A and B are shown apart, each in its own frame.
Chain A
Amino acid sequence: MSRYVVDKVCQRIAVHDDQRDRFLESPETYLGQFALTDDERGWLLNRDYGALYAMGGHPFLLWGWAQRVDPDKSTLLGRYTQAVAPHGQPDYST
């Protein structure tokens, strides 16, 4: 598990427009530059908010990333909170 690397991916995309554009243009190519596990890569590609939250991804960064990459902003808040709800408050320290 590489919580730090997942946080790094989310931070870059959440803060920098050019990184977000590169991710959206070719997610697999973009993620290829990071030392992620297969699971983590899959969760990021599938926007699996629940799994990323449960593994201890930093919630502030996860939410920032989700806002940048989710295709449907109008329903995001509800879907996101529903996805993370079963997982309580995981330790997100790195």
Chain B
Amino acid sequence: MAKLVQIFGTPHHPFTFLRLPEAPKRRWDDMRQKLEQARPDVLLVVGSDHLNQFFMDNMPPFVVGKSPIAEGPFPYERDDWRLPPYKVPVDVDLAKAIICSGFGHDIDFAFSDEFRLDHAFIVPLAKLRPEADIPIVPVFANMIAPPLPPPQRFYKVGQTLARIVEGIDSAARVCVVLSGHLSVEVGGPRMMKILTEGALDRDFDARMAELVGRGDVDALLRDSSVDHLLRVGNVTTGFLTFVLALGMAGGRPATHAEAVFTDVGSMPFFHWDLE
């Protein structure tokens, strides 16, 4: 059976390739080495699409990308944030298996044969595997356009993805990469606070990292309600990807969980070693 070996929860700060402070640089280096040592055959990558392609005309909560090639970023992300180009094969068989098996687990994944990867995918992929030589399966989650799925749904989708992967008749070693963020506001009044104070809500960030670290599912689900996340910051809902991560880990405490504070905002670094 396929084996889920490691889970990485990372930031996708758009300034990562513009001016990355030293502390997160070291965490990225550490994670890149861990991924290398894990020898994955495929990466399951979970992130949001920042309204670059999936829009309110037809917004899917969870989408599996299944075209043979995945590519990004969007041109403005390349121009404004200097994100590197990234082009990688998709493990189409695994993508289809996730979609088909999802039905039996009461999760109806949408799918797409035409998509592009934005910074939620390009940042972690280019930092963790710049060689772009490991096939991926991208899963897009709506964390930006309300109404959003509640945290309980993110957790269940995470559990389901883990069950599906581990039920596949294959010797593949699968690593999971999920990107998101802690407290953050974009386009709202408190956007400036992140740049002047280094974080929108340090207490929130530290608490959520602690809950992930000790695998406190009940508290995490309670504190990750969409209403609460939106009160903390208008796009703090990007934290929900880490609720999904904890679901994939079966509620196990993280091997490493940390909120790293920098002058461009707080950054989450979570890791589960499942071997």
Contact = CB atoms under 8 A, between A and B. Distances in A.
Answer yes or no: do A and B interact. Answer: yes
Contacts of A27: none
Contacts of B75: 17
A44 interface: no
A92 interface: yes
Contacts of B188: 53, 59, 84, 89
A7 B230 CA distance: 19
B76 interface: yes
A4 interface: yes
Interface in A7-39: 7-8, 11, 14-15, 17
Contact of A60 (B56, B57, B74, B235): B235
A94 interface: yes
Given A17-B76, A63-B191, A89-B230, A11 B186 contact: no
A1 interface: no
Interface residues of A, number: 30
A88 B187 contact: no
Contact of A84 (B189, B230, B231): B189
A93 B187 contact: no
Nearest to B53: A15
Interface of B: 50-52, 55-57, 74-76, 80, 144-147, 185-189, 191-192, 195, 230-231, 234-235
Interface of A: 4, 7-8, 11, 14-15, 17, 53, 58-64, 66-68, 77-78, 80-81, 84-85, 87-89, 92-94
Q: Which 8 A-B pairs have the closest CB atoms?
A: A59-B187, A63-B187, A93-B146, A85-B189, A59-B188, A81-B192, A94-B56, A62-B187
6 contacts: A8-B56, A58-B145, A59-B185, A60-B234, A84-B189, A93-B145
